[in-house]
Amino acid sequence: MTKTATLYRMVTDEHICPYGLRSKDLLERQGYDVEDHKLTSRQQADDFKAKHDVKTTPQTFIEGKRVGGYDDLREYFGKDEAGQTGTTYTPVVAIFSIAALLAVASQHFASGSFISIRTLMLFIAFSMTLLAVQKLKDLYSFTNSFITYDLLAMRWIRYGYIYPFIEAYAGIGMVAQLQPLAVAPFSLFIGTVGAISVFKAVYIDKRQLKCACVGGDSSVPLGFVSLSENLFMIAGALIMLLM
């Protein structure tokens, strides 16, 4: 027996509602034939909302009964809550995974081998560079989060603005194999200050904070992963100096 649903969504020259497209996709994946009604002007949308006494579109009707918007539709089908909520390690996992793959690929291209000390160095360097980019997307937002736990940035806020540039420089310098004394001290400094700051905030003061490691809008909790970022910087600096 064919299941049908009626969907009303905004589709104008200026705006195509993403949640309307998501609602249509979800209905089709649930086996519904969708009667897709496109509201092609703001006036049509306002008239529809007034008629059905709703505040937003899209709106889905199944068997003549209004289900509601996209979140309501997900709940109707027993799906998890849409979007990212709460804390998550996803951004850090994505960055470290891509950094590892880049390191292995670069080393294989350069020498034909996959795993070596140089691979580890490249992994650290790519991780630092990618993390720096995340911070540089919005320096103000990053510093707002960073100064709440970094011991140096608390006393000198400008350090929060400088930090991502130092991190990027150290990472790029490792990739370029610049002279160790031109790179390692910077990585060692920010890594050491960062490690002490995170350790104090999390393990001594027992504070529950969001980590600024992937930017100020991060939902990554401050903790072991944040400490690992700083330990990687220290390790990269020491490897450069020892080699």
Query: What does the chain look like in DSSP terms, one character per residue?
Result: --EEEEEEEEB-SS-B-HHHHHHHHHHHHTTEEEEEEEE-SHHHHHHHHHHHT-SSS-EEEETTEEEESHHHHHHHTTPPPSS--S---HHHHHHHHHHHHHHHHHHHHHHS-S-SHHHHHHHHHHHHHHHHHHHHTTHHHHHHHHTTT-HHHHH-THHHHHHHHHHHHHHHHHHHT--HHHHHHHHHHHHHHHHHHHHIIIIIS----B--TT-TT--PBSSHHHHHHHHHHHHHHHHHHH-
pLDDT at 8 over 70: yes
Among 76, 110, 135, the domain-final residue is 76
Is residue 216 located within the same domain as residue 111?
yes
Is residue 202 located within the same domain as residue 94?
yes
pLDDT of residue 204: 94
Is residue 179 located within the same domain as residue 133?
yes
Is residue 44 located within the same domain as residue 144?
no
Domain holding 173, by residue range, is 90-242
**Higher model confidence: residue 84 or residue 132?**
132
User: Is there a domain that residue 99 lies in?
Assistant: yes
pLDDT of residue 212: 84
pLDDT of residue 89: 81
Query: Each residue of 80-118: pLDDT tens digit?
Result: 765 545 567 888 889 999 999 999 999 999 988 888 999
**Higher model confidence: residue 85 or residue 169?**
169
Among 19, 53, 76, the domain-final residue is 76
Domain count, the chain: 2
Residue pair 163/229 in contact (Cβ under 8 Å)? The answer is: no
Dihedrals φ, ψ of 153, to 5°?
-65, -30
Query: Each residue of 170-225: pLDDT tens digit?
Result: 999 999 999 999 999 999 999 999 999 999 999 999 988 888 888 877 778 888 87
User: Is there a domain that residue 81 lies in?
Assistant: no
Among 52, 76, 100, the domain-final residue is 76
Give the CATH number for residue 51. Answer: 3.40.30.10
Residue pair 242/171 in contact (Cβ under 8 Å)? The answer is: no
Is residue 129 located within the same domain as residue 209?
yes
Is residue 42 located within the same domain as residue 106?
no
Is residue 214 located within the same domain as residue 104?
yes
